[in-house]
Amino acid sequence: MKKQFNRMRQLANQTVGRAEKTEVLSEDLLQVEKRLDLVKQVTHSTHKKLTACLQGQQGTDVEKRSKKLPLTILAQCMVEGAAVLGDDSLLGKMLKLCGDTEEKLAQELIQFEFEIEKDVVEPLYVLAEVDIPNIQKQRKHLAKLVLDMDSSRTRINCQQICTVLQ
């Protein structure tokens, strides 16, 4: 009986004061987590650079973009110049044709930028600024819960040892 009591006391001394640490993530998931930080940096910088490349104002509708685009302003100037010169002059006809062509190019550019913003820029923003931070937040919450679980497990073990000793 005394031998059993001494064995339990040694076991209690070994486990008390030392919380058992549970692995939160496997080695593969730790690699993925490291990669996640790199993905966040890349998506953030790509979003920033891609937004800077867009010529129209981001987030506005097609009509507002059209009014402020340099190609549209140039096209309007050419069409007005053609109206001043008249349709009977060669320069007037050329300005009218070039103005119409510039207007079509401006509309194509606006439509292209609108689609790029919708299909690329917005998803990059959501990934970099919403999804990845949520993943990191959940990871921190998981680590806290695992620490709480380990603490509770240690407390239960100590209680069991104390009841056996009594």
Per residue in 82-99, pLDDT tens? 999 988 899 999 999 999
Q: How many CB atoms lie within 10 A of CB 139?
A: 15
Distance CA 95, CA 101 (A): 10
Amino acid occupying residue 34: K
Cβ–Cβ < 8 Å for 132, 39: yes
**pTM for the complete prediction?**
0.65
Tokens 């937040």 label which residue? 137
pLDDT at 60 exceeding the cut of 70: no
